[in-house]
Amino acid sequence: MTKKFETATFAGGCFWCMVKPFDTLPGIEKVISGYTGGTVEHPSYEQVKTGTTGHMEAIHITYDPQLFPYEKLLELYWTQVDPTDDGGQFFDRGSNYRTAIFYENEQQKRLAEQSKRELALSGRFLKPIVTRILPAAPFYPAEEEHQKFYKKHPDRYTAERIESGRDAFIHDNWGS
């Protein structure tokens, strides 16, 4: 039987920090760091980090929905970001570090909106949930040096997560 893979795209601030939580789970075929949501075709990291291209750093996930349904991707996504911060994520500031869920179809849109509503109603956060839910836009893979950064530079990756405040935020809001 042939597996039917689907894709999902999430912006959650620094893409280096977003890959690992998804990368090693059963049903996740691959996770690519890249850029989406902007106006420049095939932007570079240097262009995107200026905040002038309209792109966000994002991850593009290829997954088997039979083993890892989209709802589970959403659950994991919310636990990796501060959905109340519209100015970036943690110490990464600017529109290129905002949070967004880019839906591929109406079912993903419906599930994303539902999960956002449920999070807002949960009372977990005192401030409004500002993560955008947007139609999928062209996704451009980042340069090779940014792919699987956590494997290539484990010490720098760990330091980035700690120094940025991401790990403390996750622990304080979601536990271990």
Largest CA distance in the chain: 47
Q: Which among 70, 37, 57, 59 has a CA at the least distance from the CA of 136?
A: 37
- State the catalytic residues: 14
Closest CA to 96 of 60, 53, 142: 53
Closest CA to 133 of 77, 65, 90, 67: 77
Residue 166, token pair as written in the block: 């991401």
